[in-house]
Each structure stands twice: as C-alpha cells, then as structure tokens.
Structure 1
Amino acid sequence: MNVRLRKQATGTISARKSAGADASGWEAGRQAGWKHGYHVGACEALQQKLPPSASAQHPIRILYVRAGLRGPFPDLDQAVTEALRGMVSELTVAAPSDNLVALAARSRPDLVLVMHGTQVPGNQVQGIRALGIKTAIWLVDEPYVTDVTTVIAPQYEWLFTHELASIPIYRQLGCQVHYMPLAVNPAVYKPKYVAPQYQSDICFIGNAFFNRVSLIDRIAPTLAARDTRIVGLFWKRLRRYRSLSKGIRVSWISADEAASYYNGAKIVINIHRSHDDKVHNKNSRNLPGLSINPRTYEISASGAFQLTDVRQDLTDFYMPGVELETYSSANELVDKIVYYLQNEEQRKQIALNGFKKTLAQHTYQKRLSQLLQIVFP
C-alpha cells in the first residue's frame, strides 16, 4: 500500500473510532439523562401521594429578627419567614441593626423571635422585655460559637437550640431551654432537572474545615478516579488539591445552586464540622457536637443519596441503611462509595425513602409549629 492510500485508510479508521466514541458518549449521556429524569419523576410521584402539610394557624403577631450574618443565614431567614407567614396572623421582619424596641412598641407583637442573636444588642432585648413582650431566641450554630451564645442567651425568656450538648449548660445558666432541631425549606431543596455541570458521581458541599480536609485527603485516590465535585471555601488547604482540582470550586454558593449539585450527584457526602477546631470555633468548653447539621435534611429533601458521618441524634430522625447511609471511618466511606456506585437501584431507593421522611417530618413549617406551641400552649 502506498503512502497516500495508507494515510487514507488510517484516517478512515480514526473517523470510525471517533464516530463510535461520539455515539457511545451520546448513548451514555442519554441513559444518564433518562435515569435522572426517572428519579426526579419518582420523587414527584411520591410527593403527590403524601398528605398535604397543614400547620396550626396561630392568631398571634410575630416580630422576627433576622440573623444579620452572611453564609447560610440569609437562606435560613428566608426559610423561617416563609414558614411563619402561613402560620401567624401578622409577621414583621426586622434586621438586628434596627431599633427593635421602637418597632416592638409600635407593632405590639405577641412574640419577638430572634434568629441566632449574635448581632442583636443586649439593651434592645431588655427594652423589649420591659414592654411586657415575650422574647425567644433560636440558636442554630452550636457548639461552634457557644462562648458567644452562652453570654447572650440568658437575656431571653425562651431559648431554643438545635444542639443537644449545650442544653445542660443553658440549664445551669437558668435558661428556659428547649431542644429544637434544624430542618429544611422544601421550596428550595427539592428534586429537579439539572444541567451537566452539576452532574457527578460524588459531591461534597461545604467549607474546608480541617477535619474535612483530613478526610478528603485520605480518600483522594478514590475521589480522583471518579467524577467528583467539591464546592466551598478554603479547599486549597488540601495536600492532594492538584489531583482533585478539576472538580473543585473554591466559592460560596447559594442554596439553590447547592440543591442543583445535590440533584446531579449519585452520592452526596456529608461531613460534620469538628467541635474542637481551635481556628474556626469559639467553644472553649469543648462541648461535643451531638446533633446533625441542616445539610442532612437538605440533601435528603433534594432526593439525593447521602453518605454521612454519625451524630448522636441522627437515628432520632433517619434510619441508617434505609433512609440514608453512614460511615465511621475513611475506609468505610471508600467501601460504601464503591458499593453504592455499583448498586444503583438500592442507592435510589434509599434516597427516595429519605426524601419521603424529610418532607413528612423535617420542614421548617413543622419546627416552627412546635416552637409556637411551646411558647403559646
């Protein structure tokens, strides 16, 4: 065969290989899209079978004071205000920098409910209580800032916290404290169709606290061999950053975009913060973290399969192996990643079970109804 014919033959073979690769890629994409659409449809069908959520209507006026912080707090404030609007006769929303005493004197709410409260001046709380108006605070970032919250919490008549470990401390301080877990806003975290850039085998959303960095470094070979997305701040701390960099996005993202990543992932990893992080925490009492984070609910509400580390109260809310899956070591996490990537039907059934449980029991509407029933029995 002369040189010209050999080049033509080689080009023909390459073209066939390329066409075959394109066809194979198209078919793989079609199947992945079909499976994702089927799962979203299954979630929607399951949701339609659930009884409509109904919360008790309270003929009361609420003044809600936002957290006034960045990060996850604006989304949390939105979730709480949206839930309250359908539950009370009148809702006024304020920033912590507002003149809350003057606002309360004008609107005469039955309750001033403060989210987190680290930005609210103590004299404002005292002034509201002097008007004879009930005050309550919901602490939602414990035990990581307990050095701050143990100072401000006794100023309020009612105290609600999501963290089991801090309850004895507040009782010692004379607070009327109640356990109030976090929850999810299903209007934001929900099953949906997502673009290819949000699709992955494995996903983690959250900032690079040192315990998370340590775990991700340990399982990096497993993650690097698969389509992995890691999104949050400070991830250049990883020793193995280079091997994972193509899937890392060093950024804070909105709740809506986090839900997109959850929807597009086959497996979502949940890694709780460490209670003894001296750099990021204000927890000189070294209180342990016993309660699950809001991400636990948000992943499940998105219809995603979740692999989470274990907190003490986890089994009060979800059944491991049935509604989500757990790990207790890096080796177990790797083993379960490999297993569940290979067992799609089991993975999706667990995700559906977790989705159903979350919508039925773990929304902010449910939590706020419980809170109001405590304050107004």
Structure 2
Amino acid sequence: MKILYIPSGYGQIYQSFDLSILQSINQLNHQVRSIPFSEEETLKNVVHSFQPDIALTLTGFNMPYTMIEWIKKQGVKLVVWMTEDPYYIDRSLKLIHDYDYVFTIDTAALKVYKEAGHKEVYYLPLGTDPDIYHPTALQKQYQSDICLVGSPYPDRMKIIQYLLEKTNYSIQVVGRQWEKKLIKAKRSSRLSIHSHWIPPSIAKHYFNSAAINLNTHRPFHLKQNKNIRAIINQSINNRTFDIASSGAFQLIEYKPDLHLHFTEGEEMVSFKSSEDLLKKVKYYMSHLEERKKISERARKKVLSNDTFIHRINKMMNIIN
C-alpha cells in the first residue's frame, strides 16, 4: 500500500510517535512518504507524483480543512488516529466525518463516534517501540524506589503526598511543572523532582532504575480538557506498553479495558484506590522476584502484541 503520512504538527512525544510509525510502515514493506501539512505545495506535488492510497495523520486537530478537501478530491482515503481520546472529544467529534477511517485509543470514545454515525471507526491504542523502550542496567542518577513519569495532575499529586506520608520509600517525579505544583512536598528529603519534559530515550532509564513505576491516567474531568459530555476513559494509556516494553515493573490505575491486553496478577498489577495502592506498594517492594517475573511476562506480551508494527499492521488490514 502507498501511504502518505502527515505529522500532527505537535512536538515532543508526537515527534517520537511520528518516527516510530514511519519506521513501522517501512518494516511492513509499505511505501510511505511524509510531508507536513504546512508545506502545502510540496504536499500537493507529492500526492500527484506518489499517488498514495491513503493519507494518515494523528489527532487531525491541525489539518486545514482546505487540505482535507483537496486530498479527498484526488481519490485518496483519509485516515485519522485519535490519540488524545476522550480528553478532547468535543473537538474530535467536529471533524471525524471529514475522514474515511477513524481509529481511537479509547473504547468509550469509540462508542461515542459510532453513536455519531461514523461507519468506519475502530479501537486502536498506541503501540510501543522496542527499539526505544527496552531493558537497561540500573543507573544511580535515575534510581528510586517509586517513580512517576508524567504531568502533575491533581490525582497524581495526591498520590505522591499520600505515599510520602504513609511510607519511607524514596520517590521520584518527572515531568513539566512538578516543581511548581509540589511546593510543600518538595521539602521531603525522600522526594526528587525533575521538573522538565524528558525524551523517551531518557524515560526508559527512569523506568528501569525504579523498583516500582506508578502509572495513572489523565482525569476525564480535568478543566483543561474539551470533554463537555464527561466521557470517562475506559482504556489504558500508551505509557503502560512503554514501561512493559522496558522490562520494568509498574502499578497501574485500574481501567476496564486492562484485561484486553494483560492478565491481572500475571502480567500486570492494578490498583483501585490509594489504600489499595499503598498495600501493593508495600507488598511488591519486599517481593523482588515477583516483580521481576511479572515484568518479564508483561514485556513478552507487549513484544508479541503491542508494538507500533502490530498497530500499523492491524490498521492496514482493516483498511484493506
């Protein structure tokens, strides 16, 4: 298949997604060209010369409607992968009908899109890239008992404060604005704050150098969201697959769709409350071999089912 890949226009983690997707398309022996939507004339020239079967983009939020119309007039099928669902579903509902195929990372959003009348919408979570996320040796500068990589959402800050109060473990948080958000907690000598965005190549070292990685999800009711319907996310985030691919142990906030990818207690351990988390943190901190076995099984599962190659292959099979 000939695929025109149009980057979302976002930076940081999206640049990593772009690279992993392009590499996966190549490894699956499809032909691919990638042109930013901002380079309109170049993009049009590529469409004329390359004659793609489909044009694929992520989120679709930045794609000009004039470009969408033009591409469709060339007989090219438009495909969008909604990778921020359901947090910006107010925006995505306005544009799904511009695309021939819609893929979403969340089953709650999938239901909404089907109810909105789209005939070609499918659940497809983001994958992981084993070339980036793989086991590494423990490194002292990244080491911690408990680590949380991600944005300082209110529920995450409460969890960190709770664990600082209830345990004596060293805790590390990594991500933009943690320093600003955790003014009180930063007085603890057991808390390390790295208040900046880190690329995936560094994130894997934090994952592998922590005894336990905390993995919680973005709240559906966060005020920055565009989710007036209050659609509650049902699916697990891509960090789940990244941590697992790294061969690291994680405690993940429970989501109903967790069972679609992992067996609870065998390949993944979830928690449903702060008290449940505390109980499991204490247990697994003192059971190293169990952590290792669960992490090994999770990595094996991900490598067999949840890489970007698996996702792109499934997408292309559906379109075909």
Would you say the 8 A contact 1:62–1:88 is kept in 2? no
The partner residue of 1:254 within 187, 195, 199 is: 199
Partner residue, 2:23: 82
1:151 equivalenced with 2:94 (yes/no): yes
Q: Which stretch shows the higher mean deviation, 330-339 or 193-202?
A: 193-202
Residue pairs, 1:130-145, within 5 angstroms: 130-145=73-88
Check 1:83–1:251 CA distance in 2 against 1; reply closer, same or farther (3 A cut): same
Offset at residue 219 of structure 1 (A):
2.1
1:233/1:250 contact within 8 Å kept: yes
Unaligned runs of 5+ in 2: none
**Aligned partners of 1:246, 1:293: CA distance in 2, in Å?**
25
Q: Is 1:65 equivalent to 2:10 in the alignment?
A: no
Q: Which has the larger radius of gyration?
A: 1
Look up the match of 1:57.
Answer: none
Is the aligned partner of 1:226 residue 2:169? yes
Matched, 1:346 2:287: no
Aligned match of 2:267: 323
Do residues 370 (structure 1) and 319 (structure 2) align? Answer: no
In the TM superposition, residue 296 of structure 1 has moved relative to its aligned partner by: 0.5
Question: Given the alignment of the two structures, is residue 94 of structure 1 paired with residue 38 of structure 2, yes or no?
Answer: no
Aligned 8 A contact 1:212 1:273 in 2: no
Moved more, 127-136 or 92-101: 92-101
Distance 1:119 1:103 in 2: 20
| Alpha carbons of structure 1 residues 303 and 134: separation in structure 2 relative to 1, 3 Å | same
Please give the secondary structure, in 1, of the residue aligned with 2:207.
Answer: helix
Between 1:168-177 and 1:346-355, the stretch displaced more is: 168-177
Match of residue 300, structure 1, among 228, 241, 244 = 244
How big is each residue's C-alpha offset from its partner over 1:122-174, in whole Å with a ceiling of 9 and x where there is no partner? 11111111111111111111111111111122101111111111122212333
CA, structure 1 residues 333+112, in 2 after alignment: closer, same or farther (shift >3 Å)?
same
Q: Verify the 8 A CA contact 1:138 1:161 in the aligned structure 2.
A: yes
Q: How high is the TM-score relative to the length of structure 1? A: 0.80
Count of aligned pairs between the two proteins: 315
- Match of 1:159, SS state, is strand
Q: What secondary structure, in the 3-state scheme, does the structure 2 residue paired with 1:141 have?
A: coil
Distance 1:228 1:214, change over 3 A: closer
Q: Which residue of structure 1 aligns with residue 254 of structure 2?
A: 310
Whether the aligned pair in 1 keeps the contact of 2:185 and 2:191 (CA below 8 Å) is no
Question: Could you tell me how far 1:245 is from its partner in structure 2?
Answer: 7.3
The offset of 1:246, in angstroms, is 4.6
Q: Is the 8 A contact 2:161 2:185 kept in 1?
A: yes
Q: TM-score, normalised by structure 2?
A: 0.94
Amino acid at match of 1:80: I
Letter in 1 for 2:171: T
Write the letter of the residue equivalent to 1:74: Q
CA distance in 2 between partners of 1:200 and 1:83 (Å): 33
Q: What code does the residue aligned with 2:37 have?
A: P
Q: Given that residues 251 and 268 in structure 2 are in contact (C-alpha distance below 8 angstroms), is that contact kept between their aligned partners in structure 1?
A: yes
C-alpha contact 2:170 2:190 (8 A) present in aligned 1: no
Segment of structure 1 superposing worse, 166-175 or 291-300: 166-175
Report the residue type matching 2:200 in the other structure: A
Aligned mates of 2:106, 2:189 — CA distance in 1: 33
Runs of at least 5 residues in structure 1 that lack an aligned partner in the other structure: 1-59
SS of equivalent to 1:247: strand
Is 1:237 aligned with 2:178? no
In the alignment, does 2:80 pair up with 1:119?
no
User: Given that residues 62 and 111 in structure 1 are in contact (C-alpha distance below 8 angstroms), is that contact kept between their aligned partners in structure 2?
Assistant: yes
Q: Following TM superposition, by how much is the alpha carbon of 1:194 offset from its aligned partner in structure 2, in angstroms?
A: 4.2
**Structure 1 residue 307 displacement after superposition:** 0.3
CA distance in 2, matches of 1:275, 1:244: 32
Q: Which amino acid aligns with 1:68?
A: G
Report matched runs for 1:155-194 at 5 Å: 155-175=98-118, 176-194=120-138
Greater fraction of residues in helix: 1
CA offset digits 1:53-108 (Å, max 9, x no partner): xxxxxxx2110011111242111111111101112342101213121444322321
CA contact (8 A) 2:171 2:190 kept: no
Query: In structure 2, the residue corresponding to 1:326 is in which secondary structure?
Result: strand
8 Å CA contact retained: 1:96, 1:120: yes
* 2:214 maps to amino acid: I
- Matched residue SS, 1:313: helix
